[in-house]
Chains A and B, each alone.
Chain A
Amino acid sequence: MPDNGVPPGTLVMLVLRVLQSGPLHGYAIAQRIHALSTDVLQVEEGSLYPALQRILIQGWAKAHWGVSETNRRVRFYQLTPAGRAHVVSQMAEYERVSAAILTVLRTA
């Protein structure tokens, strides 16, 4: 795993989180995560597409074809109600665990 890769297990949550503000296509998702993380996180296609397929299979998002800002035919991903619920619960869980980890790191 390269230094600026996404920590394992968190990619699905990150993707769902950036989809919360509206439908995006694959490239835009990667870009958005990269930008929002102040250029720290680099989403590789090798992990992005399996994660997107998993999201589709789980029914957290739906895909539909559309036209991008640059007039290309791209596939947009849009959160489903189940996906919205999932991302909220995942974030709460993640915050709880990472707070606990931080506590250990700081106090041990």
Chain B
Amino acid sequence: MGALWRRLWYLLNRSRFERELREEMAAHRALKGASEPPFGNDLRLRDEAIDAWGWRWLERLTQDLNFACRLLWRSPVFTLTAIAVLALGIGLNLAAFQVIDSVALSWLPVRSPETLVHLHRRSPQSTMTSFSYPAFDFYRQHGSSLTGAMGVVSADVTFGSDDTRTVDAQFVTANYFSELGAIPLAGRLLDSSDDGANAGAVIVVGERLWKSRLGGEHSAIGRPLPVNGQPFTIVGVAADSFAGPGGGSAAAWIPISQHRVAFPGSTILDDWSADSISFYGRVREGHTTAAAEAELKAAVDGLRTVRPGEVQDDEWLELRPAGRFVSFEEAAPGIALTGSLVGLVLVAACMNLGLLVLARTLGRSREFAIRFSVGATRGRIVRQLLTEHLLLGILGATVACFVAVQASRAVLTLTGVAGGLTPQINFRLILAAAVLAVFSSVAFGLAPAWQALRPAEARRRRLRTILVGLQVMAATTLLVVSGLLVRGVTRVVRVPLGFDYQQTLVADPHLSSHGMSPTPPSRTGIASSLDSASCPASRMSHSRLCRRSETASG
């Protein structure tokens, strides 16, 4: 360690130590007698002595960088083209990385996301993600390896007097926000006072809804807001950056105990057959997921003895991580496809740039010849060229970072991922950018550098052919794959259904989310009332009408 510090010290006080060396050598020269061999070349000897400090590489790098900067500055068209090509190639890869990073690698912005789980009802034949509220309540009480049980029911509701526009709301257990460690943007979020039969009908609105429908004013808190025509009171605002387990979001949140207020006649809290609750929780500290699952298996068996009809014979509860937007395993195929496609774009970009650089390098043979003749080694010339290419790579990657953040934000906004996952320029992105910069500099720069060293008559056109070939290959593959994807989408849209759908309407009244169980009498009742309804039933409250012809013929 001491030697390293001294080397640094010598580097920092370079001029002083060089001067001392010069004086020392001058004294040595003067001391030498006439009979002894003469003192050698001062400059060379001093250079060789300074080599012992071990900083020669840094000096060379500085020289090379200096020269590279001057060269790039002198040919701005080439430089800008190269940076643009690289920014596109690297930027696309970084954007893909950003999206994957935000969605599958980053934890959600909630408290202890690593312990968050999503409960699935499993049997060898099936996977179900919804529970009835009584079953949820049973597991909440009997699953001792589980803490912070959260139940969520999503439903479309109407606000105010306008009952044609529906908004997605979540009915959540009162511990939802506190369990996730959410902080209100204004007012308060739900708490334990919102549980129970006597609690008031309250609603927490999301930031977007607050701004668009309520003017974003603080006075909105405490004001009444009719939900499905029923009186509710706004108690607070949740920020856009809030994300629920699995990245879920909504426009507003209502305590699940108020479901029967929002939907009069709702039996959701007592009905064992209404499977509508998404069940999230945390694995208790000190438990492994497997141990928690084993313990929950006992709870399932306990429920089976109490209510034999509600649990399948071989049912168990599976805990899947919910601390990320999607788990890496689920996203892996998509990641592989995206990764290879954007990788091909980078290959095409590098080959394209390789040709450009090759032409430029061949045009510099005079310069290399001069450098060779004044004593430069091949290694030095190659290092010079690689430094230039690395500089281009770094410049391209820097621009690419900004391209990537914009592009990935656009992708995440278009796909509607929660606001909490806005990609930023972070350490991981910069690391990825650096890796890509080095990779692409080598990819486009090594071949031209190697070619430059060969004598002019030995150069073949083969390298150029290979580069063109690779570029065409990458471009063709990209074209074919994107063609296939577009064709796939068109085929899905145009698939013949075998019946005349142009005049068909589908009505989905979302009965279960309204707390009505789909028992046979009511079902036929609804069906017959729909039959008699006149065609475009646009004012039908709480129902979603979908004209097939609009989506299917596009």
A: residues with CB less than 8 A from B are: 25-27, 44-46, 49-54, 56-59, 63, 68, 70, 72-75
Q: Is the CB of B52 within 8 A of A74?
A: no
Q: Is the CB of B27 within 8 A of A52?
A: no
B: residues with CB less than 8 A from A are: 2-3, 6-7, 10, 20-21, 23-25, 27-28, 30-32, 39-40, 44-46, 48-54
Select A70's contact among B3, B10, B31, B49, beta carbons within 8 Å.
B31
Q: List 18 A-B contacts (CB under 8 A).
A: A25-B24, A44-B40, A45-B45, A46-B40, A46-B44, A49-B45, A53-B50, A56-B6, A57-B3, A57-B7, A57-B10, A57-B53, A59-B2, A59-B6, A68-B31, A72-B30, A74-B31, A75-B23
Main secondary structure of the interface of A (DSSP, over half): helix
A37 CA / B351 CA spacing, docked (Å): 63
Contacts A49-B21, A57-B7: A73 and B48 contacting too (C-beta < 8 A)?
Answer: no
The residues of A that contact B32 with a CB separation of less than 8 Å are: 27
Across the interface, name the chain A residue whose C-beta is closest to B30: A72
Q: Is the CB of B28 within 8 A of A53?
A: no
Across the interface, name the chain A residue whose C-beta is closest to B9: A57
Select A27's contact among B27, B40, B45, beta carbons within 8 Å.
B27
A12 to chain B, nearest CB (A): 10
Select A45's contact among B7, B39, B51, B52, beta carbons within 8 Å.
B39
Q: Is the CB of A49 within 8 A of B27?
A: no
Q: Is the CB of A57 within 8 A of B48?
A: no
A20 CA / B238 CA spacing, docked (Å): 78
B398 to chain A, nearest CB (A): 36
Q: Is the CB of A50 within 8 A of B27?
A: no
A53 CA / B7 CA spacing, docked (Å): 10
Q: Is the CB of B49 within 8 A of A53?
A: yes
The residues of B that contact A70 with a CB separation of less than 8 Å are: 31
A68 CA / B53 CA spacing, docked (Å): 27
B56 to chain A, nearest CB (A): 12
What 10 A-B pairs have minimum CB-CB distances, sorted nearest first?
A53-B52, A49-B49, A27-B31, A54-B52, A75-B24, A50-B52, A27-B28, A74-B27, A53-B49, A50-B49
Among B20, B31, B54, the most chain A Cβ lie within 10 Å of the Cβ of: B31
